[in-house]
Structure 1
Amino acid sequence: MNFLRLTDTSHSHFKQAWALYEQAFPLEERRPLAWQRAIMPYAHYHFELILQEETLVGILLWWGFEEVRYLEHFVTTPALRGRGYGKRILESFTNRDARPILLEVEPPREEIQQRRIRFYEQSGFALNHHFYQQPPYHSGLQPLTLLLMSYPESLTPEAVAYFVNTRHPLIYRLRTSPATT
């Protein structure tokens, strides 16, 4: 598998990757295309395609900060699910460097959310039991109440507060220009 970072939307696989993103995540969990285009060149932002030869296997959309990697969106192509790609992709991502990883999951109310949490736990992530508010991606929507998972260990409330206070303005509000991030 190859990981290919895109810094704009002109790549031949972008449309397919964007369709996968829109299909996999509900409106309240994804940013609009115009916003996506604006953040693609940010130094901290990574829009990665996972390719097997020329076939799109999945996407990893993440932010790389000094203290943490924030895995914002991760999905494999539906036709390839259940073949171990997700596990291999996540293992490759966790092994890239020593920075901790943070991601959000929905509370485990239904079987699908429970399975998603188990998947991450099997990959070494810890479920943090304090609730967390994800700011809305679209005006008029309310924040989402989610849980945080972290790798390789649980987060302290102070670490969560630092992430929210210092990283949310960039991730959710675009208050910083690409040249400075």
Structure 2
Amino acid sequence: MEHIRLTDASHRLFEKAWALYEQAFPLEERRPLPWQAEVMAHVDYHFELILQNEELVGILLWWGFEDVRFLEHFATAPALRGKGYGSRMLLDFLNRDARPVLLEVEPPESEVNRRRITFYEQTGFCLNQHFYQQPPYHQGQQPLTLLLMSYPNPITAEETATFVRLHHPLIYRTGL
């Protein structure tokens, strides 16, 4: 599979990737397009297309900080779900670099959420049991209560607080 990092929205596959992003994540979990276009040029942000035979397989939208990688959004094209592409994309991502990885998941209160958590656990992620507030992406919305999953080891509440303090101001514009 080929990885292409976009730094702006001019790539011929951006619209297809953006449609996948909008289909895969509810409004409260996704960045508005103008904000997305702005953040794509940031040196620590990676809007990554995963292609096979020049077709979009999925997207990995992540932040690469000195101490951690934060996988903000990850999705496989709907027609390819359940065929092992997601696992391959995620394992490839994990094996690229030795830095730990964090990602957010909804609490395991529904079957879909439990399946998502199990998918990440099967790839080596640990579900951390302290709750976590994701700041809103849209004005007027409330923060989301989520859990952080971490790879390769669990993290403490203190480590979560450090991640929030150091990186949320950039990721979620909480420092603006």
Give the shorter-chain TM-score range: over 0.9
Indicate the residue corresponding to 1:179 in structure 2: none
Give TM-score, length-normalised by structure 2. 0.98
Indicate the residue corresponding to 2:81 in structure 1: 81
Change (3 A) 1:66 1:124: same
Indicate the residue corresponding to 1:100 in structure 2: 100
- Tell me, in whole angstroms, the C-alpha distance in 2 between the residues paired with 1:85 and 1:118: 16
Indicate the residue corresponding to 1:114 in structure 2: 114
Change (3 A) 1:2 1:174: farther
Q: 2:168, 2:174 within 8 Å by CA — same for their partners in 1?
A: no
Residues 116-140 of structure 1: per-residue CA shift (max 9 Å, x gap): 0000000000000000000000000
Matches within 5 A, 1:1-181: 1-173=1-173
Where has structure 1 moved over 2 Å in runs of 4 or more? none
Give TM-score, length-normalised by structure 1. 0.95
Unmatched segments (≥5 aa) in structure 2: none
Residues 16-68 of structure 1: per-residue CA shift (max 9 Å, x gap): 00000001100000000000000011000000000002100000000000000
Higher relative contact order (CA 8 A, sep 6+): 1
- In structure 2, give the amino acid aligned to 1:43: V
Change (3 A) 1:174 1:34: farther
Q: 2:7, 2:40 within 8 Å by CA — same for their partners in 1?
A: yes
Task: Percent identity, please.
Answer: 70
- In structure 1, give the amino acid aligned to 2:102: L
Residues 66-90 of structure 1: per-residue CA shift (max 9 Å, x gap): 0000000000001001110000000
Unmatched segments (≥5 aa) in structure 1: 177-181
- In structure 1, give the amino acid aligned to 2:79: A
Q: 2:68, 2:102 within 8 Å by CA — same for their partners in 1?
A: yes
- Tell me, in whole angstroms, the C-alpha distance in 2 between the residues paired with 1:130 and 1:73: 21
Number of residue pairs matched?
Answer: 176
* SS in structure 1 of the partner of residue 154 of structure 2: coil
Residue 11 of structure 1 deviates from its aligned partner by 0.1
CA-atom RMSD in angstroms:
1.0
- Tell me, in whole angstroms, the C-alpha distance in 1 between the residues paired with 2:25 and 2:45: 19
- Tell me, in whole angstroms, the C-alpha distance in 2 between the residues paired with 1:67 and 1:74: 20
Change (3 A) 1:174 1:52: farther
